[in-house]
Amino acid sequence: MNWKKAMMTIGCLVVTLILIGGVQPAEAKKDNAAAATSAAAVEGYLYTSKDYGYTIVCPQKPHVIPANLLMEGKKGEVLIFDNDGYNIKNAWLVLTDAFDKKKTPDFNKMNEAEAKKYLDGIMQSNPYEGAMVVNLNKNNKAIYALTAKEVELDTDGDGKPDVTAKADTQMAILFFRGNKGGCYSLQLIDNPELRESEIVKFQNGAMTFQEK
């Protein structure tokens, strides 16, 4: 799924400031009725994390494993909805302490110029196809990104890309502060191909996230 197609899929998250990665904000916006979808209207299984103290509405009851089994050194959980043995086909990765609060701007207080500068910075330092600022709800903004299928790398340190690396899959990623100030990342794993239907479920679930 390319960045433009992913952004046109957005139905519950509202583009609030600016996006980086190839499409204009007007192309990414839905009408106000769709954008106003309430978290309360999301149906599914209310998952409560006993270890990390959050709740989130999932499309179904997940099988849960520690995040460090999938990503070494990371804190959080993997909420698995579909797998084939050890092959995770569909899951949400919930990471705690996902960014440094002291070094990361308050997404709710950034103006357009500050948002553009921040998005430019994360695009340069991460293998993202695009990134933008969205509303998780009326009081809380987040960074929403899509990982790239192809990434140009500078392997010899001369400041110029000389190798193109290709990824097998893509992920949709959100970075946000919880209602009690925790620093989280919510990531969609959908293999082998990122599907629009799963992006919508992921976005609906993100809207329901609450720290206990």
> How far is residue 129's CA from residue 21's CA, in Å, rounded to a whole number?
6
Residue with tokens 């799924």: 1
List, in sequence order, the alpha helices (H) in the chain: 3-9, 25-28, 32-35, 112-125, 196-207
Residues 6+ apart with CB under 8 A from 39: 57, 137, 204, 207, 208
- Identify whether 192 is preceded by a cis peptide bond (ω within 30 of 0): yes
Report pLDDT for 4: 61
Residues 6+ apart with CB under 8 A from 73: none
Count other Cβ atoms within 10 Å, centred on residue 35.
15
> How far is residue 121's CA from residue 128's CA, in Å, rounded to a whole number?
11
Query: Digits of tens for pLDDT over the chain (212 positions)?
Result: 766 666 656 655 755 545 566 444 344 444 333 434 444 467 899 999 999 999 999 999 999 999 999 999 999 999 999 999 999 999 999 999 999 999 999 999 999 999 999 999 999 888 899 999 999 988 899 999 999 887 776 667 777 777 776 778 899 999 999 999 999 999 999 999 999 999 999 999 999 999 99
Report pLDDT for 109: 94
The pTM score is 0.82
